[in-house]
Structure 1
Amino acid sequence: MTPDADPQREKRQHLWRLGLLVAAMFGFGFLLGPMYSAICEATGVNGRMKVVASNVKAGEIDTSRTVTVEFVTTVNGSPLWQFSPEQPRIKVHPGQLYTVSFYAKNLQDQDLVAQAVPNIAPGTAAPHLRKTECFCFNQQPFKAGEAKHMPVRFMLDPALPPGIETVTLSYTFFDVTKLAQQSASRPKS
């Protein structure tokens, strides 16, 4: 038997390789969240938006330019909601604040909590959308059968690239009732 053919040594090497593979997979899984956030921020994918509008000076409104903003809504996983924009689209001047409203109704006979997740397309417009008020900032509790008109106050930055003539702002409504109940039942530290 040659020293290179030692079965014990081969098993140890194989176990070391498998251990390194497991450690690499764990490390990749651990870094996946921060990597995803960094990639989304760099590319504008998943519509990362500024939460608060900066102070807008009167001279910053670009009245020479009009951009169409479309509003799209989706309800995830439950047909027992109504959720829609009150206006499917509006024309805006970059730099000017606008308020639009969305309608949502709980069609169930029980109380629910919803969370809206926003997205913006094209992704290159995401850094230029600034919101001062949005129902997507917080979870929205709904009583059984309750309907709400929920405002969104926003502006498009005048620095929006000139080639962008249409921006789509979409919201997906999720039922987060169980998550909200779990969060409320946890002791506060």
Structure 2
Amino acid sequence: MIHAPLLKRLVLICIGMFAFAFALVPLYDVFCDVTGLNGKPSLEQAEQSTQIVQNRDVGVSFTTHAQSGAPFEVKSKEYSVVVKPGAMREVMFSAKNNSNLDKVMQAVPSVSPGKAAKYLHKIACFCFDQQPLKAGEELEFKLLFYVDTALPSDIEELTLSYTVFDISEQLVASNN
């Protein structure tokens, strides 16, 4: 049959596409490790530090943005801070619901460079919980964190980025 070779190729292509899709997540993790992108910090509350490194400064910058279509405006009161590893630092964030409906937001943190994510410890963070905001309401949230004293010496600056999502509809759907 003349179509048998074509059929074999198409089946092999389908198997190859499936294998590639299956391997994509581990490949993405390797890519992120190599490039330092997509640092995923722990969402668990950390213990307080007891040791401070006085002879080292680390710059920590903050960025925020809302998911496309989310009615939130979130910003840090300070664009960046300088911390001593092990020293506790507090930074305030404000969040405003710009819609005329009550909404619930969830902040998802990311640290760059990615290898620094495990060295940034949050004691208190608005990302730990869902944050309900009434229509037009503006609230302030506290971030209490420290940079681990074991932070590699080649990392002098890191960025803590928050992406804010509107999870109101998901909560309604899960309650029904």
AA aligned opposite 1:113: V
- Any residues of structure 2 matched to 1:50-69 within 5 Å, and which? 50-51=42-43, 52-54=45-47, 56-57=49-50, 60-69=51-60
Question: Does residue 183 of structure 1 match 2:160?
Answer: no
In structure 2, do the counterparts of structure 1 residues 81 and 39 end up closer, same or farther at CA, with 3 Å as the change threshold?
same
Unaligned runs of 5+ in 1: 1-7
Q: 1:173, CA displacement in angstroms? A: 1.6
Between structures 1 and 2, the one with greater helix share: 1
Match of 2:23 among 19, 24, 31: 31
Q: 1:39, CA displacement in angstroms? A: 4.3
Which residue of 1 is the match for residue 13 of structure 2?
21
Q: Point out the structure with max Rg over C-alpha.
A: 1
Preserved contact between residue 70 and residue 165 of structure 2 (Cα < 8 Å): no
Q: 1:97, CA displacement in angstroms? A: 2.2
CA distance, structure 1, for counterparts of residue 121 and residue 33 of structure 2: 15
Q: How many residues align?
A: 175
Preserved contact between residue 40 and residue 48 of structure 1 (Cα < 8 Å): no
Match of 2:113 among 107, 122, 128: 122
Q: TM-score, normalised by structure 2?
A: 0.84
Q: 1:15, CA displacement in angstroms? A: 0.8
Q: Secondary structure at the match of 1:141?
A: strand
CA distance, structure 1, for counterparts of residue 104 and residue 169 of structure 2: 8
Q: Secondary structure at the match of 1:22?
A: helix
Which residue of 1 is the match for residue 39 of structure 2?
47
- Any residues of structure 2 matched to 1:1-189 within 5 Å, and which? 8=1, 10-37=2-29, 39-40=31-32, 44-51=36-43, 52-54=45-47, 56-57=49-50, 60-78=51-69, 80-185=71-176
Q: Which runs of 4+ in 1 moved over 3 A?
A: 37-44
Sequence identity (%)? 39
Q: 1:110, CA displacement in angstroms? A: 0.3
Q: 1:94, CA displacement in angstroms? A: 0.3
AA aligned opposite 2:63: V
Q: 1:38, CA displacement in angstroms? A: 5.1
In structure 2, do the counterparts of structure 1 residues 53 and 166 end up closer, same or farther at CA, with 3 Å as the change threshold?
same
CA RMSD of aligned residues (A): 2.3
Q: TM-score, normalised by structure 1?
A: 0.79
AA aligned opposite 1:171: Y
In structure 2, do the counterparts of structure 1 residues 41 and 163 end up closer, same or farther at CA, with 3 Å as the change threshold?
closer
Larger CA deviation: 133-142 vs 41-50: 41-50
Unaligned runs of 5+ in 2: none
